[in-house]
Amino acid sequence: MSIAARMNTFVEDLQEHLCRRLEDEDGAASFEVDDWTREEGGGGKTAVIEGGDLFEKGGVNTSAVEGELPEHMAEALSDAEHEVEPAPFFATGLSLVLHPHSPHVPTAHANFRYFALGEDRADPDDQWFGGGADLTPYYPRLDDAQHFHRTWKAVCDRHPRVADYEAFKEQCDDYFYLPHREEARGVGGIFYDYVRNDPEATLAFSKDAGEHFAEAYLPIARRRRTADWGERERAYQELRRGRYVEFNLVYDRGTKFGLESGGRTESILMSLPPEVAWRYDARPEPGTPEARAQWFLQPRDWLALSPEDVPEATSPSARPSTEDENPPRDA
């Protein structure tokens, strides 16, 4: 079986597995599945969960599309080492985004994808893999960031021929950065793209990474989902979600490629959070947990840090909400 076929089978199986795991973790909501076809060739399956106990909105999407790569997209996919020409293409992948209710539970994103050029899918003229996973906490914790990164380092270390945690972490830090805000989207993770050198080894790495997303994320969600939160925390979460939207609509290459290649708009924009806020020149009050969170919004070597390296929020207003002071909302 070709690498293209095996990758496509993998992402379809991974979607079913993750949907079951996430439904079990949520405990109240189920995924609604929407099969779609693309006029130019191929299609996909969009699975969305909304209004759950854990997840306010989330999606686990797969696609397998084909057709003739237009010239402007070929130019966008070219780099200094590889020039891409208009040609028949095949692309398959899985993309997921999870937006929890609780401001104490991070948003998570991951995708694993494969792209091939040429008439013969079993022996393509060019092929490459891309993907990764990143974490976007609203009230960041060092132990959460370290668990997330430790999981991905272990995955990379099992595939030294094609995966380099330090390089993939740096690429993630560079990619998920908002230059106009001079801040990162979150605490990063790993990101890789245009990996061509060993397709068999890279397929094995991508499968290993996809199979470990739940291990990287769900323990964090379990630890944080029961923490109290109120209107202040929700307001800050919505403000930070605005940064998420800014990145996805302004910088994200996957969003641009999907829209410019005639992809399914509902599936592409599924990644956006359901409730967002923008407030003019919003700045956290010094000494608050919101101010402390800003420290996490620059790339750091998370695995080398200790708790003493993280600044503390020390003002009285920085105390976590309690039932008497700030009643928690239903989450």
Residues known to be catalytic? 109
C-alpha distances in Å from residue 26, one per residue of 22, 64, 107, 230: 6, 28, 14, 20
Q: Which residues of 321-331 are buried (b: 16+ CB within 10 A; e: fewer)?
A: beeeebebeeb
* Cα–Cα nearest to 280, from 244, 248, 242: 242
Three-state SS sequence of 213-261: HHHHHHHHHHHHCCCCCCHHHHHHHHHHHHHHHHHHHHCCHHHHHHHHC
Q: Which is nearest to 261 in space by CA: 47, 44, 96?
A: 44
Distance in angstroms (rounded) separating the CA atoms of residues 19 and 25: 10
